[in-house]
Amino acid sequence: MNEHGRKYDLYSQDFKRDAYKIFAAMRRDDPIYRQIGLDGVTPIWFITAYEDVEAMLRDKRIMRDELQALPPEKRYQPNQLDLLLNNHMLNKDGVDHVRLRTLVSQAFTPKRIAALRPRIEAIASMLLDQVQAKGEMDLIADFSFPLPTIVILEMLGVPSEDRDKFKVWSNALLEPQMDAAGLEQAVKHLTDFTNYLRDLFAKRRAEPKDDLITGLLQAEEAGDKLSENELFSTMVLLIVTGHETTVNLIANATLALLRNPEQLAQLKADLSLMPNAVEEFLRYDGSVERALSRWAAEDIVWKGHHIKRGDAVMLVLGSANHDETKFAEAEKLRVLRDPNPHLGLGKGVHYCLGATLARLETEIAMNTLLSRLPKLRLAIDESELRWRFLPGFRGLEALPVRWDKEQSQ
């Protein structure tokens, strides 16, 4: 037990460094593990074995909509912040989820995403053009963050001169400082964010364009449009949560290859293997460590464990993807791994809507990096790398790399 009375420390920098070792211990000793959350009150069930995680992702008794799941006596009135941030499809179940997902999915069809390939390739090349002569960069700040950010903001129709604002707003929403000053700053950023979106919505209503914001404003499904709160929440989902997944996937994939030079050499020798390698990156060190919180909508007995209605359930995708009973040599990176039934993008009705886009962006990013930057390597000692405190996500603060300038293309 640590000083907080918890058997497993799942929130510290040490945990982020050794997450997969800790997950292995949990799968071995406590695959269905109950722990009190950071608030000191809420019971949380951590589910770490592949079989259980995969089954619970599809189990309708374990819901994303907390208010529906909670017993009536424990339900609360959501505040305006909840309504603005959390009123999107990932937090809905049943008919509400289907309605919202149908409205948003029109922009993410495979055909539409495939048509983005030339533009994504151009953005990736442009970003490397800006740093190639330097021989070094922070791969996240200079490449993996701007790439998916530019893509999603262009899809939405956000003017290019406003892109830097979204980095500030995204960080404020994902990593708020929990002291009084930090919360006050987060509220200010959220206010700026919502005011900006409100103005942008008004402009698109007055002057529609061929972009996702206009499409969302005009979208109808059986006569039903997105409410204003649903619009704001969907924008938060697409801009913040959506791009964060790919930012960290590209960086984690790069680090994984630098740690496994034989796999890097195999991939560089045949870049046509990249789509298969992306699936392995999603499994080996994916950017989504845990699925978004779920709640038991009724009392459930699961393999002898009594999960009460209203209990929080954390499905640890990162652990499931390293389960030795499902994956041979689970702790090794294998870019040729096939089959690869990973859960890196979820499963079931809440399967990642942007999966096709995330795969395409990562494939193009990694192809561009490996073809243009010879002898890519870490610019600092690996022990100096630090992981961000992102509940549910797995991402580095920075990834300094360098390469041979005279041979770069």
Of the two residues 158 and 379, the one the predictor is more confident about is 379
Do you find a cis peptide bond into 391, omega within 30 degrees of 0? Answer: no
Mean pLDDT, residues 165-193: 75
Mean pLDDT, residues 363-370: 98
Nearest to 212 by CA among 224, 196, 201: 201
Q: Taking 90 as the threshold, does the pLDDT of residue 87 lie above it?
A: no
Q: Taking 90 as the threshold, does the pLDDT of residue 314 lie above it?
A: yes
Flag whether the pTM goes above 0.85: yes
Q: Quick one: CA dihedral 178, 345, 300, 323, positive or negative? A: negative
Of the two residues 182 and 112, the one the predictor is more confident about is 112
According to the model, what pLDDT value does residue 86 have? 52
Q: Taking 90 as the threshold, does the pLDDT of residue 42 lie above it?
A: no
Mean pLDDT, residues 271-295: 95
Q: Taking 50 as the threshold, does the pLDDT of residue 89 lie above it?
A: no
| 45 backbone dihedrals φ, ψ, rounded to 5° | -95, 120
Q: What pLDDT, in 10s, does the model give residues 98-115?
A: 677 777 787 788 898 999
According to the model, what pLDDT value does residue 379 have? 98
Of the two residues 102 and 146, the one the predictor is more confident about is 146
Return left, alpha or beta for 67; rule: phi > 0 is left, psi -120 to 50 is alpha, else beta.
alpha
pLDDT band at 88 (very low <50, low <70, confident <90, very high): very low
Nearest to 313 by CA among 140, 60, 130: 60
CB 33 within 8 A of CB 8: yes
Q: Taking 70 as the threshold, does the pLDDT of residue 330 lie above it?
A: yes
According to the model, what pLDDT value does residue 82 have? 53
According to the model, what pLDDT value does residue 207 have? 93
Percentage of the chain with pLDDT > 90? 56
Mean pLDDT, rounded, of the chain: 86
Q: What gap in Å lies between CA 294 and CA 311, rounded to an integer? A: 8
Mean pLDDT, residues 3-17: 79
Containing H/E element for 360? helix 355-372
According to the model, what pLDDT value does residue 391 have? 75
Mean pLDDT, residues 351-356: 83
What tokens appear for 390 in the block?
């992102």
Of the two residues 358 and 67, the one the predictor is more confident about is 358
Concatenating the DSSP letter of every residue in 194-236 gives: HHHHHHHHHHHHHS--SSHHHHHHH--BTTB---HHHHHHHHH
Domains parsed from the chain with CATH numbers: 78-288+332-407 (1.10.630.10)
